[in-house]
Amino acid sequence: ISCAKTMMNECFSSVPLVTSAFCASYVAMLSGANMLGRLGWATASDWTGRKNMYFLFGALGIPTTLAIPTLTTMASEGIGGALPLYAFVGGSVAIVSFYGGLFSGLPAYISDLFGGKHTSGIHGRLLTAWSASALFGPSLMAQLRQRAYVDEMEKLASISDPETFERTFGAPVCEMGKLVEAKSVTIERLMQIAPPGTLDPTPNLYDSTLYSMGGIMFLAMLSNLAI
């Protein structure tokens, strides 16, 4: 949620529909999905059972998360027109609704498992962990993105003409590390000197983040099944 607008701008900037107004609407849609998920999924869990509902979140959320890198690649290469954008919006809205459902169904799930006597104490501990994840999650996401950013810059530098690189940045390619630390090099500037036909890697900067998220969700789903 915290990175939604940035992801939209970086991953789907090549799609004409993506404007500032569209990005703002997208963030509002995620907020609405969070709210509706708290109401809708919590109600549905009364019929399906809490454990089955949590399994459904993983069974739907994991493949959706792992499919996003493919969608961003399709968008950057102009495949499918606006279809990858719509699929990303729909998938991310669904994932955020699962987040809302997880949160709202949690007290009832605890009560089902351990009884009402212990619900408050266990829920308090889980909320503490949830708060920690709210701080740790975006930080981890930013670090993974930054690592991917540096890796992609190094790849672009390696395929660029060494003389052109030195004229542009005032240092040879072998000093790439120092240029990165000084923030003198960016993907945008490297794309200007990259060989013709080189694809902009910006839309795929979140791939490692999304794969990590999918892995964590898979572990959570297995933990739920083990209860």
Residues 6 or more apart in contact with residue 205 via CB below 8 angstroms: 10, 11, 145, 148, 149, 152
- What pTM does this model have? 0.82
pLDDT score for 90: 94
pLDDT score for 20: 85
Q: Is the dihedral of CA 117, 112, 46, 90 positive or negative?
A: positive
pLDDT score for 97: 95
Residue pair 40/101 in contact (Cβ under 8 Å)? The answer is yes
Residues of the chain with pLDDT under 70: none
pLDDT score for 16: 86
Residue pair 14/204 in contact (Cβ under 8 Å)? The answer is no
pLDDT score for 110: 93
pLDDT score for 178: 86
